[in-house]
Amino acid sequence: MNVVSVSTQPIDGQKPGTSGLRKKVKVFSQPGYLENFVQSIFDNLSGQQGKTLVLGGDGRYFNDTAIQIILRMAAAAGFGRVLVGQNGILSTPAASAVIRKQAAFGGIILSASHNPGGPDGDFGIKYNLANGGPANETFTEAVYQRSRSISVYKYVDAPDIDLGVPGETLLGDMKVQVIDPVADYAALQESLFDFNKIAELLARPEFRMRFDAMHAVTGPYAKAILEGRLGAPAGTVVNGDPLPDFGGGHPDPNPVYAADLVAALADPHSGLSFGAASDGDGDRNMIVGRDFIVSPSDSLAVLAANYQYIPAYSGGLAGVARSMPTSCAVDRVAQSLGIPCFETPTGWKFFGSLLDAGQLTLCGEESAGTGSNHVREKDGLWAVLFWLNILAARNETAPQIVREHWRKFGRNVYSRHDYEGIETAKADRLFAELRGKLPGLAGTEISGMRVELADDFAYTDPVDGSRSEKQGVRVLLQGGSRVVFRLSGTGTEGATLRVYLERYVADAALHEVPTQEALAPLVALAEKIANIATITGRDAPDVIS
């Protein structure tokens, strides 16, 4: 085995965000850029000799090139076997499932999630631990520090591996096993849900659904499970072929980028009664009923409130968790069930220790991510199957189920306003000034609303005791409403300001007030507190979801 050592030097900007390292393809394709980061990961591992690594991605541009590079570097790092998805395809939740089922040492997932693809688009990479979940902040910080001092990377001199055919090939002394990317994941889903009941629902002539895979990774999974195992009519899955540029679209399942799906469910002549979509790497989801979009926060709360219909969870929930910016709707469900509800920073890794400790069963984030203890990532298709199982068991539509939920628990009217590509200096100034105002906000009245608490959210992990600071500015108002300000860690250019707006409405007579109309006073309050327009020059958000 010919191991080649290449002299290199640190490259700026390799600090991972909440979901790994994401940059433009043109950045990753620079000589040594990917290699430096991968070597920094491997240099922080111990005990991987002879062990199994899982590798795959969402099929975006540069995915195939990166996999060949990582395979050669993994062989040089001493791994004994790499399980790689056929054609390099492996959704993020499927990668987690494979890591767990195959007792792998860890995994590398290549994805920039919901970000655009193509040669001018984005690329990303992250390392997942043996539990199947994203590496914790201690590990990612160590990777970053190594990237600042790296002087050499290593690879085995060998030809590319044919990833199109399942089977096993030697790369140096390491076995490369090309696997069916769907098999382990589909088997896991079938063990969780009542597939017979879902199949009966899909066979009803009055029930028609559409799943929009957005030319991203979930196409093969949705076709195999929905149209294959569950018998949904051919064509139920649209945009089902993964493309390197996602067909020129933006693979983010929200009302803006999945507008065709929303329009189809609003069209009384479409015959559709249920719709769903997933994102670039398959970990996010959107649920749509007839002329009715289910917000991610409501979706998490509804799933928790209907756990008893799902075979895998029918024995009860240990607890639930949500990221801090996610609406408090699930908190009310947890209170009614008498189970804990954890509030964590944004980032799925924060749920991992709670899941491993058996302290929670369901968890979710407002950014269209929900999941459970079956894997250690959010799981888009899992959420769709959960909804289908509920619909089949209750024999009601999604809008009926959500509105009944509101009548029982009240409605947490909720929206997120994204200001994308803000100059970093302006974003930093906005937060510096905002944080400076926090000590004087509590007890004041702004636009007729009284501030009960204003802080910069910090979190102490109840399992390992780790501390995370500055996770988002919260302004909590009397009556259960709130505004949250946070800079996103998933973009690749400039800064993305996210403003989360939430208003609790108990009166059922007000539940049908349009979301943005109901939240208008909070939008005005957010502007008064943060001076968004003045500092950023933005009069309106780029995306409202």
The amino acid occupying position 147 is S
Alpha carbon distance, N-terminus to C-terminus of the chain = 52
Q: Which residues contact 512 (CB under 8 A, 6 or more apart)?
A: none
Return the ∠ at Cα 472 (arms to 467 and 477), rounded to 5°.
120
Distance, CA of 142 to CA of 125 (rounded, Å): 16
Distance, CA of 391 to CA of 406 (rounded, Å): 17
What is the distance of C-alpha 77 from the center of its chain? 29
CB 287 within 8 A of CB 315: no
CB 475 within 8 A of CB 445: no
Distance, CA of 43 to CA of 81 (rounded, Å): 18
Q: Which of 96, 113, 327, 353 is catalytic?
A: 113
Name the strand (E) or helix (H) holding 91. none
Distance, CA of 88 to CA of 123 (rounded, Å): 14
Per 3-state DSSP, the chain is made up of helix, strand and coil in percentages (nearest 5) of 35, 25, 40
* Residue 167, phi-psi category: left (phi > 0), alpha (psi -120 to 50), beta (remainder): left
Q: Is 7 a catalytic residue?
A: no
Q: What is the DSSP string of 440-504?
A: GTTT-EETTEEEEEEEE--EE-TTT--EE----EEEEETTS-EEEEEE-SS-SSSEEEEEEEEEE
List residues with catalytic annotation.
113
